[in-house]
Structure formats: structure tokens, C-alpha cells
A and B are shown apart, each in its own frame.
Chain A
Amino acid sequence: MYAAPFSYHRAASLQEAVKLLQELGEEARVIAGGQSLIPLMKMRMARPAALIDINFISGLSDIQTSKGELRIGATVRHADLENSSAGTTIPIVHDCAAGIADVQVRNQGTIGGSLAEADPSGDWGTALLALESSVICAGPDGQRTVPLEDFIKDAYTTVLAHNEVVTAIQVKIPPKHSGGAHLAFKRSAPVYPTASASVQLTMEDHHMCKDARIVLGCVGLTAIRAKEAEKALQGKALEEKNVRAAADAARAAAEPQSDMRGSADYKRLLVGTLVKRAIGIAARRARGESVPAGHEYAGR
């Protein structure tokens, strides 16, 4: 399968990438890992007139920690994060990175591309919303920082102007006594999850939850912050009754659609269960336990 004809431009710097976007117009697309764009192009479901390659811009693939913030360059690969110390510091990052698609996609696909694509089932859009994250965008007028909750507006739609490029993602490192988990159910390795849930809990003490963030993935046009579910835990003891209330509130907040991954009813059921389990794992991690978690697959 071959893509429709397009021109290819390799940007040496961010400035050049932005300039190319301006010059080549609306039909130009930025390419980073290409793990979504290239399959769409080869099926001719996407027909960009030009591709602007940002893979060769230096400094765009660094992972840095400073002043309590993790800064992830736009072209950092999922596999880089899977294997980085950032994943140890913030377990939710590892849960997410380690289960995205398959090994080949993780080696090539980028975090910036994933967020800019804004697929409703993308893992990063869900996982990073459970943390305090923002997206740094570069355009003709310089850089701007957009909180992640404002960045993704709708399915496949972000606030990025045509002449802007994502350059980095900034994540505030959660405080002590905070822990999170990203759980997703996938049918097989290369596909998007049927449903996913990200939970970040900050504990007051062993039982009391000070703060909670609960995010649902694949069950709406964007990742959904389940605020009623969060309220069910905030300032409350992490006991079964409250956890169940949070899971029920999460189910109520979901807006799933039926497709080949599952019926709407099933996705609603599933996402609540994932929330419940993610709360359990997040709490244990907040208490300092090391708990493996992440994506689960049909059959095993």
C-alpha cells in the first residue's frame, strides 16, 4: 500500500518547523514517530500534501527533571519512558508507556505525537490527566504552555494552531504519599484499549485520602475527568463503600460508544472496575509499596 503523493521536509530546528508549517499551509502535517499517521496515509485515509519531519531537531527527545517537574521532549519514544527513571518516580508513567501498542510502536511512537493526535483511546491523554500536566507548544510568536485539560478539546482536536508544534510535556512530580496507576484492558497487543482508567491518590495517612484524580479513557470523545468519583474519595477513608461509590460515579461519568472493541454497556461496566482496581493499586503505591500494574490482555 502506498500513500498518495506528498512532499517531505526535514526540519533542523523548531523555528524551521514552524516556518515550514506556515509556508506549506493547511495541507502540511508534522511527522514524529508516524505510528498513527503513516498507517492512515498508506490506507489513503489521510492525504497530507507535505510532511514536516521533526525527528532530527536536537533537544526534542530529552527527559529532564528539575524543580519538581518532569519535562518530556515531544519526540521522546514510549519505550524511552518505559525504561526511564521517570517511570520509577511516577509509576503511572511507566504503567502507561509499557503497554502502548506493541514493541515496534513503542520504539517509534512519541509522546508528543500521541497527545497532538488526540485519539479518544490514546493512553497518554488519559494517564497524564491524572497528574498536573501541561503541553508546551511553539509557534511563530514563540512558546506557550497549555494545561493538558485545555489542550485536547475534542476527539482528534487540540488547541494547536496549524503553525504550532508540540515541543514538550511538563508533569509536576506528585508529592510524597501520593501514588497512581494506569490500568487498561486491551484485546491484543497492537490495538487501543477497550477502556482505561488512571487514578492518582494523595494520602493523608494510611487510610485517609487527601486528594484524588480519576480519569477515564476510551469512553468518551476525550479522556474524562470523573470529578464526582474524585469527590467520593477526597477527604474520606479508603474503605470499600467509598471506593464502590467512586467506581459507580465513574461509570455514570462515562460516555461510551459501541464499536468492535465492545458494546457501550460493557465499556461502562469495565471502566468502573478499572477505576476500582486502580484506586487499590494507587493507594498501595502511595503507601510505598511496589506493585506491578498496567495493561491487561484478553486470555491471560
Chain B
Amino acid sequence: MAGKVVAMSKKKASRGGSQRFSGNGAAAATTKWVGQPIRRKEENRLVSGKGIFVDDEKMPGMLHIRFVRSSYAHAKITRIDVSKAEKFPGVVCTLTGAEIKRQVQPFIEIGPGGAQKIADYPLAADKVVFQGEPVAAVVAETRLAAEDAAELVEVDYRPLPPVVTAEDALKDESILHPAMGTNQKTFKQAAHVVRIGRLHFHRFSSTPLECNVILATWDPRSGDIEYHCNNTFPSFASQFLAPALGVRIDQIHMKSFDIGGGFGIKITSYPYMAVCALASRKAGGRAVKWVETRIEHMQASAHGNERTFLDTRVALDKTGVILAIDSKHVDDCGAFPRYEPLGCVIWAQVLPATYRVKNVRIDMHQVVTNKCPVGPNRGYSRMQHLWFMERVIDICGQALGIPADEMRRRNYIRKNEMPYKTPNGCVYDSGDYASMLAMAKKLVGWDEWKKKQAAARKEGRWIGLGIGSTLDSGTNNFGQARIINPDAPFSGQSKVGIVKLDIYGEVVVSMGSVPQGQGHETTAAQVVADALNITPALVNVRPGFDTAHNAYTGHTGTYASQFAVTGLTAIHGAAMKLRKELSRLAAWKLQAKEQDLEFGVGGQGPEVRVKGRQKAINYWALANLVNVNNAGMPESLWDITLNCRHVFHANFQIPDVKRKYGNLTLTYAAQVHAAVVEVDRETFQPKILTYACVDDCGKAVNPLIVEGQVHGAAAHGIGAALLEDCAYDADGNLLTATFSDYTPITAMNIPDLMYGHMESPSPFTLNGAKGMGEGGAAPVHTICAALQDALYPSGVIIDDSHNTGDSLFRAVQKAESGGYAGMVRVEHRRASR
């Protein structure tokens, strides 16, 4: 029932932006296949059971590993005894934290100062800091024996007091304090100042169908470590693992084939990868496999960041335009920073959200607590901040009596202001948020619902209309890490693509990405088909990732909404290099001028031919000339390899670390969602009556894949808003370690989604595409906005991102007893402007 609207916005010249897209100098090919909603190439393989997942892989003599985990959130380990486990039939060896500590270096920390002193080992040695933290491992001939023997490992703990909330953690010394500018003068000029009390963005996660799986072999002969695993950022993992394990990066062979979803959460599996390699070494070089169980995944893989927003002040002019925001944010990263503190800075990519506000001061803190460490989770770190900004917009709108749509219209960055430079130096490439909002409103029937809402209110019904505007900033500049740690030795962004002609003339593509369902094989084939004027069916894309293909840099992985930009531009660059080589070869063989040649598909497959004449040479013959039949080739053509590698570089600078200023991301896809939600007067259950997603990711390389990603992201966000919560009790026990308690969203919870698509091409990328797929948790903003609208007359302030019938029941009770008094305070001033 998708009401599909496509609006095209014309590609406009870049105004004032420092970056323009520059390809590799070759003329852009036609876009016959790019932009087509073709079916995914990988579909048949996956739905007919031919996918190859890590757990499908078996190796001769393969062993199985089982972790022994802490049941405490915070405790001193007083004794570990593995002797009974080691005697269990089938057990090959065990590993303990104390043993591993002697063999490895602690993992690198990205954070500065005190964070550098955190000793993060893959198994806890002296002390555990979250429930589920691994303390020992048992390696056995079968998985069953490993599980049986793991129960025989005896561990004694002396419990320590746990810290489970950010506010408690803040009582100690906070770790990080990035802040920006000063707003005092602006607040003096404001017509209204709105003060907002504590807001809280809850902890939720991704629930990929396939949990973490690792198959590791540390070959005692070569000293090389082979990993077949589903880590989605293998270059990052290698750079953490090599120094910890004391090997060279080229000794780590990483490969993946098919991956059953990730959404960011699989980036942080490297501590387990280290243990599996050490286990393999101890077992004499036999392969060791670890298949994470769902409970392990829920307890101890990674959760999304939890964030608390305190002491917010908003200055507005008399028309409701926000002049300044001042707030203190506390991010709770769980027991170890690990991939953090990147999340502590990545939100700054979207500092003013979709709004023109010029003055923003965020006093950012990050704390550690006795909970599962956090990791990237679809919408990583930006969604928390965007949710905060959307709450600010709605709360201020309601406080001043300005409707939600009008409040946004007045504050949105305008289309004609693009590319737009944010107060902290980021450049929003393109976008037309007001038109997206108009489309979303049209899809849900906003104006009619407004009338129905007024009538329903008279009957005592609680119906609310909500808007969620969100940004999916993609292609990150790793230089942003330097805002946290000026000494961090990384910056920019890069990806590799390889396109080659094999011996019989087959077009073969190796991707520098780690796809987990995003359809990379299909979009890569579309781009190469256009570059060579052939069809996607003639392009053979190797599934998965393999360091042996040599298509990687230190940034290689699939994260940060970027493949459509970085991966495809790299592949396009490689295809254009190949085209040039084919053209030179064909010109020699056909005795023609290069400019007289054209590419296409002839009777004998893909070919290069002389325009208007019957002279052509197919790819088989061209590959033959280089690979098996090269006697007589002129020396001027000896540089031709037909194996073309291209590295994409984004035009980034290192941010100004002192001012915390700079361009942190290349593209900004946007989503505007609108929903109508009714809160049942008797059960307090929120029910979504209608829901629309409007998406703008610039030029859609494959609109079918884009729509699928939007649906998936919307489901994830609706689940987060209404169902999914990583809840801990005061002792640090995870209360939602199974799906029965965590309740990930199912088809029964998802409303019919209406979908609208707009295209504001990016001036900074090939074809105007932008990365997308994270969706920025738009439904969390949207549903909170609708609930706020429904319950505002009852005095409720929606102050948490997670809302259930139960929590709304308690919120209405709280409102009735005056519990929200002082939560929002409005100060009207005699405006000086």
C-alpha cells in the first residue's frame, strides 16, 4: 500500500562549499543501469539456501570454543580453577584471563589521557566490569563437550558495588569534555527562553539474525592468522588485533562471505577474535570456531549508546525561531570505551540537526558503567542527538503554541542555503527538508487528521500527530577522532575497488566492503555495467570480503552509510581504468584511433568496436592478448594489467582540534517521517494509525534497495520506540537477555508503511548519490513526537525515547499528581529582536 511519490530536485551548482566531486578524470559514462530498480543479484543465492555463512564452514580438525562468563556486573575475581574442565573428555585446552594477560598487549584505546590507561584484555583477568564479561574459555573437540566442560570451570567472585546509571557514574570524574562556543549574548537577546529538565535516550541494540561467528586458525608454520568471520569492519579489527597479538597486519587474513545482518553491532567482535586466535595457537594450530548464542549476544556483544540530556536552555525569537541551545549531555558507554569514544564525537556531524540554529553549546561527557560495552548501532550516536533536537523543537513548539509542522518549517535549513555550513564546520551537501515534510504530511493526510484529532479529543480520545526529521550523515572523516584525542593517527576516508578482466575475458569485481544485506553485489554490477556499457548480468561481483583480494585500506568495512559513495566510486574508478586499458589495447589491435572506439555487447559478448564499421574485438580476445597470447605486443602497452585497482579518497581536511571545527562527513541523506498515534484511553497502549517515511538519499543507485533499507530502518526504529530496551536492574543484571524479554519487533507490530522518495543529488559525489540505510532512528523521534502531541493536554512530557503502555500509564499518573511541574519552564521576555 505504499503511496509512492517521486520528486526530483535539480542538481544545482555548489555554492560556497569547499568540496566538489572529482572523479579520476575520465569522462562520466552514461547511467543506463544506475538508477534502475533491478532485482538483487545476491537474492537467488540467499533464498535458495546457497548462502555461505561462517557457521557453514568446517575445517579439518576444527575445535569449538565456549566462554565462561561473569554473572556479576562488578566483582573481583578471587579464584579460577580450570582443572576439572581440562580433564573432561574431548577438552583440548582452556584459557584464562590471567594466562592471556601474559601473552598479549592490551588493546589500543582511542580516547586520550586517562582512557589510554584502561587495560582492556580480551578475557577479564583480575576484575569483571559487566555481566556476561568473559573470564575463561574452554576449547574442545565438539561444541557439546565445550559447553559441558565450561560448566566445570570454577570461578569465585567478591562482588563490588555496581554503577548502572550515567548520573551515578558522573559523581566520579567525567572523562571527556568537548564543548563549543558561548551563547550568553544570544540568550540575552531572546524573546523566549525555554528550560527543559532531564531527557533520556534509552539503550537498545541491533538484533541481527546471525550473531557473531568466528573461525580462527593461527598457523604455527607461517605464523599467519586466518579469520573467517562476520566482523563488519575488518580493517579496524586488524589494526586492533595485530599489536595485541604481536603479528604484522599482512599476517592477518580476513574473509567473510555472506553475513546475516549487522547494523554496526558486529564491528566490536575483535576481543573474541583475539581469544579464538590464542586458543588456536594453544591447540597447536587447529581451527577454532565460536558461534555466539543469543544470550551471549544480548549480554556481551555490544549495545547502542544510552544518553542523558540535562539542564537544557533554548533561546527563541518571538516567531519561534531557535537562536541558541545550551545543554549538558552524558553518554553512557558501558564497561569499556573500545570503539568509543568515537560515538562521543560522531553526533557532532549533525550538531544543529536539520535546523538553522547558529549557536549550540553542548557540554558533552562520557561515562563508564557496569553494563555491556556499547558499539555502533544503526544511526550510531547521531540518533541520540537528533532525538534530543526533535524533542527540543516539539517541546518549545508546544510551550509557545506553535504547531509541530510550522515549528519545523520556520527552523529548517532552506533548500537554497545548501550546501550549508553548520556552526561547527560540517557541510550539509544538499536537501530540501520543507518539501520532504510537505510530502510526508500529504502521505499521512496530516490536515484531515488534524480535524479528526480535534473531534476525537472532544470524545476524550488521545490522538497525536508527530513528525521526525532526521539525518543519516554518511562517509565519515576519521579525523573527527582527533577532536577527542588530538594524537589519534587517523583521518579521512578511503575505500578500494578492483575490476579486472580474467583470462577468458570475464569481468570480475572485488569489493572493498563487507556487505550484510545491503545489495552491494547488485549496485556494484550496475555501476560497472554503465562504465563498460554492458549489462549487470555480465559483471561478476565476488561476494563478501577477503584480504586476499587486496581490496582494502585501513578504513575498509561497511559502516557509516557510505557504500553508495565510497565503495561505488572506488569501483567506478577501477572500471574506468579498465576501460582505458581496453581502449588502448583495442586501438592497437583494431588499428583505430581510441576516439573512434565504442563499448558495448556484440554477438560474442562484451566488446570494443570501431564506430560505424564491422570491426570489433571481444573481451575474451582482449584478455587473451595480455594473459596468454602476448608475443608481439608493443612495449608501449606493457603497463596494461587488465587488473585495475582504484582507491577512493574523500576530500577531507583534518578538523581544527582546538575549535572542534571541521567537515566531519561528506553526505547528508535525510528522512522525514510522519505518524498518527492513538494512546488507548483504557490500556494506554500506543497504536500507530498511519505512518509515512519520506527519504532523500540523493540519486538512488537502486531505488528498490533504497526502499528496502528505509523499511528496515523504520522497523528497527519503531521497535526501539515501543518495544526494545536493554534494561538493567540496580545490581547490573541485564533483565532483557532473551528475546522473550527484549522483544525485538516482529511483523505483528509493524504498521503499513507509506513511502515517499525525493532526490536532492549530492554535489560532492559521483552521480549525486549519498550513503543511506541507517535511517537515524526517525521513528523514535516521530513516535515520541506523536505521543507528546497526544498526551500534552494531559500534562505529560515525553522525556524518554522508549515508551510502552505501562510507561505511558505511569506518565499520566505522574502528570495527574503534578510530577511534571517545572520540567518545562518558559520565560517570556521583552524581545529586543
Report if B741 contacts A (CB, 8 A).
Answer: yes
With both chains docked as a complex, state the minimum distance between the C-beta of B779 and any C-beta of chain A, in angstroms: 10
Determine the chain B residues whose CB is within 8 A of the CB of A276 once the complex forms: 682
Determine the chain A residues whose CB is within 8 A of the CB of B809 once the complex forms: 265-266, 269
With both chains docked as a complex, state the minimum distance between the C-beta of B302 and any C-beta of chain A, in angstroms: 20
Q: How far is A144 from B514 in the complex, measured between Cα atoms in Å?
A: 62
Scan residues 97-123 of chain A and give those whose CB is less than 8 A from a CB of chain B: 102
Determine the chain B residues whose CB is within 8 A of the CB of A2 once the complex forms: 143-144, 147
Report if A151 contacts B (CB, 8 A).
Answer: no
Task: Decide if B147 touches A1 in the complex (CB within 8 Å).
Answer: yes
Report if A190 contacts B (CB, 8 A).
Answer: yes
Given A4, A262, A298, which contacts B722 in the complex, CB threshold below 8 Å? Answer: A298
Given B148, B687, B751, B805, which contacts A262 in the complex, CB threshold below 8 Å? Answer: B805
Q: How far is A191 from B746 in the complex, measured between Cα atoms in Å?
A: 11
Report if B621 contacts A (CB, 8 A).
Answer: no
With both chains docked as a complex, state the minimum distance between the C-beta of B558 and any C-beta of chain A, in angstroms: 28
Scan residues 796-819 of chain B and give those whose CB is less than 8 A from a CB of chain A: 804-806, 809-810
Q: How far is A190 from B810 in the complex, measured between Cα atoms in Å?
A: 26
State whether A266 and B810 are in contact (beta carbons under 8 Å apart), knowing that A191-B740, A298-B723, A299-B749 are contacts in the complex: yes
Given A43, A185, A263, A298, which contacts B295 in the complex, CB threshold below 8 Å? Answer: A43
Report if B628 contacts A (CB, 8 A).
Answer: no
Task: Decide if A190 touches B747 in the complex (CB within 8 Å).
Answer: no
Task: Decide if B740 touches A1 in the complex (CB within 8 Å).
Answer: no
Given A4, A43, A102, A185, which contacts B685 in the complex, CB threshold below 8 Å? Answer: A185
Report if B744 contacts A (CB, 8 A).
Answer: yes
Report if A297 contacts B (CB, 8 A).
Answer: yes
Q: How far is A224 from B612 in the complex, measured between Cα atoms in Å?
A: 87
Given A270, A273, A299, which contacts B718 in the complex, CB threshold below 8 Å? Answer: A299
Report if A16 contacts B (CB, 8 A).
Answer: no
With both chains docked as a complex, state the minimum distance between the C-beta of A139 and any C-beta of chain B, in angstroms: 33
Task: Decide if A299 touches B736 in the complex (CB within 8 Å).
Answer: no
Task: Decide if A298 touches B735 in the complex (CB within 8 Å).
Answer: no
Determine the chain B residues whose CB is within 8 A of the CB of A5 once the complex forms: 148
With both chains docked as a complex, state the minimum distance between the C-beta of B84 and any C-beta of chain A, in angstroms: 16
Interface string of A180-202 (1 = CB under 8 A from B): 00000111111110100000000
With both chains docked as a complex, state the minimum distance between the C-beta of A192 and any C-beta of chain B, in angstroms: 7
Determine the chain B residues whose CB is within 8 A of the CB of A299 once the complex forms: 686-688, 718, 722-723, 745, 749-751
Scan residues 252-273 of chain A and give those whose CB is less than 8 A from a CB of chain B: 260, 262-263, 265-266, 269-270, 273
Task: Decide if B805 touches A298 in the complex (CB within 8 Å).
Answer: yes
Report if A176 contacts B (CB, 8 A).
Answer: no
Task: Decide if B683 touches A185 in the complex (CB within 8 Å).
Answer: yes
With both chains docked as a complex, state the minimum distance between the C-beta of A127 and any C-beta of chain B, in angstroms: 19
Report if B504 contacts A (CB, 8 A).
Answer: no
Report if A300 contacts B (CB, 8 A).
Answer: yes
Nearest-neighbor residue (CB-CB) of B751 within chain A: A300
Report if B293 contacts A (CB, 8 A).
Answer: yes
Report if B727 contacts A (CB, 8 A).
Answer: yes
Q: How far is A188 from B151 in the complex, measured between Cα atoms in Å?
A: 33
Scan residues 730-783 of chain B and give those whose CB is less than 8 A from a CB of chain A: 735-736, 739-741, 743-751
Determine the chain A residues whose CB is within 8 A of the CB of B686 once the complex forms: 298-299
Determine the chain B residues whose CB is within 8 A of the CB of A262 once the complex forms: 804-806
Determine the chain A residues whose CB is within 8 A of the CB of B727 once the complex forms: 260
Task: Decide if B685 touches A298 in the complex (CB within 8 Å).
Answer: yes
With both chains docked as a complex, state the minimum distance between the C-beta of A99 and any C-beta of chain B, in angstroms: 9
Q: How far is A183 from B751 in the complex, measured between Cα atoms in Å?
A: 20
State whether A266 and B806 are in contact (beta carbons under 8 Å apart), knowing that A1-B293, A188-B746, A297-B749 are contacts in the complex: yes
With both chains docked as a complex, state the minimum distance between the C-beta of B460 and any C-beta of chain A, in angstroms: 15
Q: How far is A192 from B723 in the complex, measured between Cα atoms in Å?
A: 14
State whether A102 and B805 are in contact (beta carbons under 8 Å apart), knowing that A185-B683, A187-B723, A300-B687 are contacts in the complex: no
Determine the chain B residues whose CB is within 8 A of the CB of A191 once the complex forms: 739-740, 743
Task: Decide if B743 touches A4 in the complex (CB within 8 Å).
Answer: no
Scan residues 1-54 of chain A and give those whose CB is less than 8 A from a CB of chain B: 1-2, 4-5, 43-44
Task: Decide if A266 touches B805 in the complex (CB within 8 Å).
Answer: yes
Q: How far is A13 from B148 in the complex, measured between Cα atoms in Å?
A: 33
Report if A204 contacts B (CB, 8 A).
Answer: no
Most buried by A among B147, B683, B723: B683
Report if A296 contacts B (CB, 8 A).
Answer: yes
Interface string of A191-235 (1 = CB under 8 A from B): 110100000000000000000000000000000000000000000
Task: Decide if B805 touches A189 in the complex (CB within 8 Å).
Answer: no
Most buried by B among A2, A269, A273: A2
Determine the chain B residues whose CB is within 8 A of the CB of A273 once the complex forms: 682-683
Q: How far is A189 from B723 in the complex, measured between Cα atoms in Å?
A: 12
Determine the chain A residues whose CB is within 8 A of the CB of B804 once the complex forms: 187, 262, 298
Q: How far is A1 from B737 in the complex, measured between Cα atoms in Å?
A: 15
Task: Decide if B749 touches A298 in the complex (CB within 8 Å).
Answer: yes
Determine the chain A residues whose CB is within 8 A of the CB of B741 once the complex forms: 260
Q: How far is A192 from B741 in the complex, measured between Cα atoms in Å?
A: 10
With both chains docked as a complex, state the minimum distance between the C-beta of B324 and any C-beta of chain A, in angstroms: 36
Task: Decide if B750 touches A300 in the complex (CB within 8 Å).
Answer: yes
Q: How far is A215 from B151 in the complex, measured between Cα atoms in Å?
A: 42
Determine the chain A residues whose CB is within 8 A of the CB of B687 once the complex forms: 299-300
Q: How far is A2 from B746 in the complex, measured between Cα atoms in Å?
A: 26
Nearest-neighbor residue (CB-CB) of A42 within chain B: B293
Nearest-neighbor residue (CB-CB) of B727 within chain A: A260
Q: How far is A187 from B745 in the complex, measured between Cα atoms in Å?
A: 9
Nearest-neighbor residue (CB-CB) of A247 within chain B: B682
Determine the chain B residues whose CB is within 8 A of the CB of A300 once the complex forms: 687-688, 748-751
Determine the chain A residues whose CB is within 8 A of the CB of B736 once the complex forms: 260
Task: Decide if A263 touches B806 in the complex (CB within 8 Å).
Answer: yes
Determine the chain A residues whose CB is within 8 A of the CB of B751 once the complex forms: 299-300
Determine the chain B residues whose CB is within 8 A of the CB of A44 once the complex forms: 151
Nearest-neighbor residue (CB-CB) of B749 within chain A: A299
Determine the chain B residues whose CB is within 8 A of the CB of A1 once the complex forms: 147, 293
Nearest-neighbor residue (CB-CB) of A300 within chain B: B751
Task: Decide if B746 touches A102 in the complex (CB within 8 Å).
Answer: yes
Task: Decide if B735 touches A260 in the complex (CB within 8 Å).
Answer: yes
Q: How far is A262 from B293 in the complex, measured between Cα atoms in Å?
A: 26
Scan residues 77-135 of chain A and give those whose CB is less than 8 A from a CB of chain B: 102
Nearest-neighbor residue (CB-CB) of A102 within chain B: B746
Interface string of B141-177 (1 = CB under 8 A from A): 0011001100100000000000000000000000000
Q: How far is A4 from B149 in the complex, measured between Cα atoms in Å?
A: 11
With both chains docked as a complex, state the minimum distance between the C-beta of B781 and any C-beta of chain A, in angstroms: 16
Q: How far is A102 from B686 in the complex, measured between Cα atoms in Å?
A: 22
Task: Decide if B810 touches A187 in the complex (CB within 8 Å).
Answer: no
Nearest-neighbor residue (CB-CB) of A187 within chain B: B743
Q: How far is A212 from B804 in the complex, measured between Cα atoms in Å?
A: 32
Q: How far is A241 from B662 in the complex, measured between Cα atoms in Å?
A: 67
Q: How far is A296 from B678 in the complex, measured between Cα atoms in Å?
A: 15
Determine the chain A residues whose CB is within 8 A of the CB of B749 once the complex forms: 188-189, 297-300
Q: How far is A276 from B682 in the complex, measured between Cα atoms in Å?
A: 10
Task: Decide if A190 touches B685 in the complex (CB within 8 Å).
Answer: no
With both chains docked as a complex, state the minimum distance between the C-beta of A191 and any C-beta of chain B, in angstroms: 5
Q: How far is A43 from B293 in the complex, measured between Cα atoms in Å?
A: 10
Determine the chain A residues whose CB is within 8 A of the CB of B144 once the complex forms: 2
With both chains docked as a complex, state the minimum distance between the C-beta of A89 and any C-beta of chain B, in angstroms: 26
Complex A-B: 29 CB contacts under 8 Å: A1-B293, A2-B143, A2-B147, A4-B148, A185-B685, A185-B805, A187-B723, A187-B743, A188-B744, A191-B739, A191-B740, A192-B740, A194-B806, A260-B727, A266-B809, A276-B682, A297-B748, A297-B749, A298-B686, A298-B722, A298-B723, A298-B743, A298-B749, A299-B687, A299-B718, A299-B723, A299-B749, A299-B750, A300-B750
Q: A43-B295, A263-B810, A299-B750 are in contact. List 9 more A-B contacts (CB 8 A).
A: A102-B746, A185-B683, A185-B685, A262-B805, A269-B683, A273-B682, A273-B683, A274-B683, A299-B688
Closest 4 CB pairs of A and B: A189-B746, A266-B806, A299-B749, A273-B682
Measured CB to CB, the residues of A under 8 A from B are 1-2, 4-5, 43-44, 102, 185-192, 194, 260, 262-263, 265-266, 269-270, 273-274, 276, 296-300
Measured CB to CB, the residues of B under 8 A from A are 143-144, 147-148, 151, 293, 295, 682-688, 718, 722-723, 727, 735-736, 739-741, 743-751, 804-806, 809-810
